[in-house]
Amino acid sequence: MTEKKLAIIATKGTLDWAYPPFILASTAAALGYETEIFFTFYGLQLLKKNLNLQVSSLGNPGMPMPMPVPVLLQALPGMQSMMTMMMKQKMKSKGVASLEELRELCVEAEVKLVACQMTVDLFEMDTKEFIDGVEYGGAATFFEFAGESDICLYI
């Protein structure tokens, strides 16, 4: 059985959108896929040792709320951290893995993590803050793997 390949581009840096890349990559690896995630723009936040990702209901009318909150009130200071805290509690109570755990499972399963060099430079990110084992590359590096992939996702 030749190994299938999954290529993912992770572009988002919020608590909620950090899940799909790590869930899919860790599961694909468990199913025997060779997997690579290319982190670009805000997705680079997912590589930090110390994950401090937040979730916001602003601009996201699809987010389920325990009670309706007018948009202007959602913009008040402290609301974002409250939303984040509530989301984390909800996830914990439902047995959803933490991002740290899912990321660790990806690393253990040898999912290749590639950071976009251009956006690292653009945002002047300190790569010492990233977890070990991250590789750096550009668009051509991504296509080298993605061009051979069976599934390619942009998240």
Q: Which of 99, 78, 75 is closest to 26 using CA atoms?
A: 99
Q: With CB under 8 A as the contact rule, which of the stretches 58-66, 94-102, 125-133, 143-151 interacts with another protein?
A: 94-102
* Separation in Å, CA 59 to CA 2, 21, 117, 123, 134: 43, 22, 29, 23, 32
Site string for another protein, 3-42 (x = CB under 8 A): --------------------x--xx--xxx----------
Which of 113, 89, 138 minimizes the C-alpha distance to 25? 113
For residues 4 and 112, which CB has a smaller minimum distance to another protein in the complex? 4
- The C-alpha atoms of residue 26 and residue 121 are separated, in whole angstroms, by 28
- Closest contact distance (angstroms) between CB of 64 and another protein is 17
Instruction: Give the residue with the Cβ less far from another protein, 7 or 116.
Output: 7
- CA–CA gap between residue 107 and residue 105 (Å, rounded): 5
96 binds another protein (CB under 8 A): yes
- 89 lines the binding site for another protein (CB under 8 A): no
Between residues 1 and 73, which has the closer beta carbon with respect to another protein? 1
CA gap 4, 6 in Å, rounded: 7
Q: Which is nearer to another protein, 107 or 118 (CB)?
A: 107
Dist CA 53 CA 55 (whole Å): 7
Q: Which of residues 104-123 bind another protein (CB under 8 A)?
A: 105
Residues found near another protein in the complex (CB under 8 A): 1, 23, 26-27, 30-32, 94-97, 105
